[in-house]
Each structure stands twice: as structure tokens, then as C-alpha cells.
Structure 1
Amino acid sequence: MDRLSYILEQLNVNAGVFFRGQLCGLASFEEEGSGYIHVLRSGVLEIMESRRDKVILDEPSLIFSVRGRSHQLFGSNRDGADMVCASIKFQTGVRNPVLDALPASVILPLSAVHGLSSFVDVLFLEAEAAQEGRSAVMNRLVEVIFVNVLRHVVSEDEAHKGILRALADKRLSRVLSHITSNLNGNLSVDTLADIATMSRSAFIQHFKQILGLAPGEHVQNVRISAAKKLILKDEPMSIICFKIGYEDASGFSRAFKKNTGMTPREWKKLNTSVSASIAPEAPAKTTAAV
């Protein structure tokens, strides 16, 4: 499994477009637990983030914020900034080693990513056409844009850390792929060390050095992430336990609460409507309903 496929499998992305129009004025984005994609087609846009100097964009660009970092956008000229804004939700939650390894925010001219402008053109055409199913189509297009940006980030950024660095390591990439494909199998340290063709002690040391946690901790994180996706699909608890390698529901519930701070039932109640979540609408001059 290549790095991008692994990342997408671990995140399970849902996009929700909540604004389309001319941004004339200030809009604030502070929702925790949500990422954002802002697509600027034309106009001038100012971006203000804490711990970062103000950025002024005057060409078609994309602003990508994976961890919901607090930021503000300002359409600074008379006609405003022609934009589409979408929230990005991750079904496996924001406490995810994959998200931790990605840049908190990325600002890219559309011209920097091959083929991205084509998807953006279709996105704006869909927004303006007012056809049946517009919201669903726009959401899927944003997800495609998200994937293309991720591909660019993974391929262009050589200073990888955490899980991305591990995926670039031939020995550890085999281990990570084996873990995701065998969640209900034997994932002992000895088994994983054999797959990495390393001694047990050398494997543990290397794993900790690259990922910053023990192999067993990573296995539990991946199992809990997989469980979250199954919970949202309303799989019976007994089936979930079997699929992710827990012998009984009580052991799984303890591990789930240790990992998330919530029981599986509490987590499901909080996240059942994740794909339908809509971020607060930004102030605008003209806004097409989505």
C-alpha cells in the first residue's frame, strides 16, 4: 500500500461545503475537531492565523487546514473574494497520528498542483448550475481536491515526521501495511519484528525512534481507528471486536476509553452526525445556497 492510500484509509474523510459566493469582510473559523478547505477563484484574500504573519493572496489559491487551526479570512477589495469554503471531518477523529504528521495548514496556488485547477473549475460550475444533487456533488469534488492536495504534500515535503516518515522506511512500511491488513491476527512485537527482518530489540528501538511510540501502542491506535469506522456503520459490538482483534467487548471498551476518553457508545453519539456537520456560514456579499 502506498503512502497516500494508507493515509486516506486511516482518515476516512467527509467534506461539507458551507459557503459559496463573494466574501466581503471578515470571517472567523475556530471550530475544533474540523479541518477546512478554502478555494479562492478570484479577488484578493487576506489570511490571518495566530503565530503566523498575515498572508495576502491575489491569485487562484487553496488554503488547507487539517487540524482546524483558528484563522480568519478577509475579502479585502471592493468586489470581495470569490470563494468556496468547506469543512473537513475525519471519521477516525482528530486524535490521529496521521493528522499529527501532516502540516497544520498549507497555502498553495492552484497552479502548483498539476490538474487541481480542473477540479476547481468543475466545483465552481457545479455551484453555479443549481442542479439537483448539487450539495452532494460539491462535497465529493472537495474530497477529490483534498486527496490531490494530500498527494502534493506527501510527494513534495521531504521533511516527513511520524507516520509519514515510517511509511517512507522500507522495513516499517511493510509492518504498517501488515498491521492494517491483519487487525484480528497476531500482531505481537515478535511477529512485527520478523516482518521488518530485525531483531526484537532493534525493531522496538527503531519503531520508537521513527514513530515516537511503542509498537503495541501503535497497534492499539490503528485498531481503535478501525473500530470507529465500524461503529459509525452500526456494526454489532461482537463483530467489531472480532474484526479488530479483541476477544471480548469489555476489553475493547476499556481500550477504547483509554484511547479516546469516551466509551464506544458515547463516541458514537457524539460522532453519528459527523458527515452532516455544517460550519458557521461566513459573512458574504452574495451567497449561493448549498
Structure 2
Amino acid sequence: MDRLAALLSNFHLSASVFNAGALCHGSRHPAKAGTGYVHILTGGTLHLAVAGHRARQFDEPVLILLTDDGEHWLGPGAQGAETLCGSFRFGLGQVGPIYRALPSLLAVPLDRLDCLSGLLELMLAEVREERCGRQATLDRLCEVLVIQLLRYLMDSGHVDTGLLAGLAHPKLAKAFIALHNQPAVPWTLTGLASEAGMSRARFAKVFRDTAGQPPGEYLALYRLGLAQAKLRDGVSLDAAASQVGYSSASALAKVFRRHTGLSPIQWRNLQCPETASDQKSKSR
């Protein structure tokens, strides 16, 4: 029972390491919609300032996860700082359910992350040895790091509400996996409760208390995010509607307008201006 398989397949993870080794001076990171950051302090002292939050200082090895909407600033202490810093996205970023489920700011001491120790050693070895393909290797390892972090968040109890909390629940996880794997099924509350092995009333309450929203609302937003991912990948509106559980393109278009204020085509053209330009060229 792979709790992440369908999510990672539909909302593709990409990551990039942009600092590996000594942090020589302060760095400012502007907010980017749908872009998260992982900053790992492996030695020295690190200062962190996030817009809207109290500034913090870290003197022990730590992993910092940031998905906050505000910009943030990093700086080394007087004795310097050794860091691994990367950014990541899940497909369309904030549109996807995984990104929305992540905490906005989380700091975990490295000595609590035994699951990452071997991976961090691999990354640090790449930093030290500077072999060919170094950047590509670090980027791929950063993707693995993010997946390992998702596992940690599900299994450690750090997140007590939202999608990751739902996937950590032994019964709710079965319903989440079913709807993620088969979004086009005409799911009902009774059907999802059956997948979870719970009564209809009990399932509705536990789902809302754990996920933070009713099952129908989660399903609608999941289908919308999945449709957006498919449209951005070049799938036609008719095909996208069918694949995510809408009876017609017009039914999907109504959902788009209600949630985004745009038609699906308008939305895709804003997200993928290069696609819109290609289509205009072909129509001339």
C-alpha cells in the first residue's frame, strides 16, 4: 500500500541544490508561489529570518523546511556555516495537494532524522569530491531527500492535520489511496467510508477532523489540481475532464471558473504562455 505513489506520479517532484558547502555570506530568497526550500545546517551557526516570524539562530545540525509565502534570509554565524540548501516543487506547486499539506516552517534536529543519515552522507560526498555530473546527482538526491522527509512527516506525528495526517491514519489512508488512484470513479461518502472500513457517519467526522475539510471538498480540489496538471502537460480539456471524473468538458470548466475565475484555456495560457504562443502561430 504505497501512500505516495499516485501523488508523486501525478504531481511530479523536481528539486535543485543551489548551495553545498560553506555559506560565505547572507542570502535572500524571495517568495515563489509553489516553491519550497530545504536548508540543512551540517556545521557552524546559521541565522534565519522569515517574513512575519521571529528571527532564529541554529547552533546544532538541523534541517529546516520552508513553504512559507513570505521571503526569507539566511546568514552564517561568526564562525561560519556549512550547509546544503535546495528548492523543490510538486508540479504546479501550491495547486497540488502535497505542497498544500506541508508545514510552512519546520526545524528538525538532524539527530532525530536517522532516516536521512545515509542520504546526507551521499550528498556530502558529492560536495567534497566534485566529480562529473555533480549538480545533476545532487539535484536527484535532493528529490529523494524530499520524499524521505514526506515519509518522516507522515510517520513521526509532526503533522496533525491535513493530507499527511490523513495518510498517516491507518483507516483513512485506504480511502485517500483509493481516490488518488482512481479519481474518475464517482465516489460517494458511502463508497469512501467502505474503503476505509468505517461507518458513513464515523468516516465523515474522522476525515474532517483529520484532513481539515470534508471528503467531498477534498475530492473536488484534488480533481481540480489533477486536471490542471494534465492540462499543463498538454492533455485536451475533454480528455482531462474524463480522466479526473467529470462528465464533460463544460462540467470541468464550471469548476475552473468557480475556483480560479478563469476558463480552463485561459488558465492554461497564463500558466504556459509558450503553449499559447505556439497555438497562435499554428492558427495563422
Q: TM-score range by the shorter chain?
A: 0.7 to 0.9
Write the mapping of 1:251-270 to structure 2, written as runs, cut at 5 A: 251-270=251-270
Query: 2: CA distance between counterparts of 1:253 and 1:261?
Result: 10
The question of whether the paired residues in 2 share the 8 Å contact of 1:256 and 1:263 is answered with: yes
Cα gap change, 1:221/1:115 in structure 2, threshold over 3 Å: closer, same or farther?
same
Cα gap change, 1:169/1:40 in structure 2, threshold over 3 Å: closer, same or farther?
closer
The question of whether the paired residues in 2 share the 8 Å contact of 1:91 and 1:228 is answered with: no
Question: Is the counterpart of residue 18 in structure 1 residue 11 in structure 2?
Answer: no
Cα gap change, 1:205/1:117 in structure 2, threshold over 3 Å: closer, same or farther?
closer
Cα gap change, 1:171/1:149 in structure 2, threshold over 3 Å: closer, same or farther?
closer
SS of 2:141's equivalent? Answer: helix
Matched to 1:117, the amino acid is S
Question: Is the counterpart of residue 42 in structure 1 residue 74 in structure 2?
Answer: no
The question of whether the paired residues in 1 share the 8 Å contact of 2:155 and 2:168 is answered with: no
Give, in angstroms, the shift of residue 36 of structure 1: 0.4
The question of whether the paired residues in 2 share the 8 Å contact of 1:4 and 1:154 is answered with: no
Question: Is the counterpart of residue 55 in structure 1 residue 56 in structure 2?
Answer: yes
Residue of structure 1 equivalent to 2:141: 141
The question of whether the paired residues in 2 share the 8 Å contact of 1:24 and 1:76 is answered with: no
Give, in angstroms, the shift of residue 63 of structure 1: 1.6
Work out the percentage of aligned pairs sharing the same amino acid.
Answer: 28
Residue of structure 1 equivalent to 2:94: 94
Deviation track 1:129-168 (CA, whole Å, cap 9, x = no partner) reads: 5544333222111111112222222222266112233334
Give, in angstroms, the shift of residue 181 of structure 1: 1.9
Residue of structure 1 equivalent to 2:65: 64
Query: 2: CA distance between counterparts of 1:128 and 1:70?
Result: 30
SS of 1:39's equivalent? Answer: strand
The question of whether the paired residues in 1 share the 8 Å contact of 2:93 and 2:99 is answered with: no
Q: Which has the higher contact order (CA 8 A, sep 6+)?
A: 1
Q: List gaps (5 residues or longer) in structure 2.
A: 274-284
Residue of structure 2 equivalent to 1:192: 192
SS of 1:76's equivalent? Answer: strand
Cα gap change, 1:97/1:237 in structure 2, threshold over 3 Å: closer, same or farther?
closer
Name whichever structure is richer in helix by fraction.
2
Query: 1: CA distance between counterparts of 2:208 and 2:126?
Result: 47
Write the mapping of 1:37-186 to structure 2, written as runs, cut at 5 A: 37-50=38-51, 52-77=53-78, 80-157=80-157, 160-186=160-186
Give, in angstroms, the shift of residue 235 of structure 1: 2.4
The question of whether the paired residues in 2 share the 8 Å contact of 1:67 and 1:99 is answered with: no
Give, in angstroms, the shift of residue 203 of structure 1: 4.1
Give, in angstroms, the shift of residue 253 of structure 1: 2.3
Matched to 2:104, the amino acid is A
Give, in angstroms, the shift of residue 243 of structure 1: 1.4
Query: 2: CA distance between counterparts of 1:198 and 1:148?
Result: 30
The question of whether the paired residues in 1 share the 8 Å contact of 2:13 and 2:90 is answered with: yes
Query: 1: CA distance between counterparts of 2:136 and 2:126?
Result: 10
Cα gap change, 1:73/1:193 in structure 2, threshold over 3 Å: closer, same or farther?
same
- Number of residue pairs matched? 272
Matched to 1:112, the amino acid is R
Q: List gaps (5 residues or longer) in structure 1.
A: 274-290
Matched to 1:26, the amino acid is G
Cα gap change, 1:231/1:137 in structure 2, threshold over 3 Å: closer, same or farther?
farther
Cα gap change, 1:171/1:19 in structure 2, threshold over 3 Å: closer, same or farther?
closer
Query: 1: CA distance between counterparts of 2:17 and 2:268?
Result: 23
Query: 2: CA distance between counterparts of 1:182 and 1:115?
Result: 31
Write the mapping of 1:182-221 to structure 2, written as runs, cut at 5 A: 182-198=182-198, 200-221=200-221
Query: 2: CA distance between counterparts of 1:180 and 1:208?
Result: 17
Deviation track 1:239-276 (CA, whole Å, cap 9, x = no partner) reads: 22221112222221221343344443444455559xxx
Residue of structure 2 equivalent to 1:31: 31
The question of whether the paired residues in 2 share the 8 Å contact of 1:61 and 1:110 is answered with: yes
Write the mapping of 1:228-243 to structure 2, written as runs, cut at 5 A: 228-243=228-243
TM-score (norm 1): 0.78
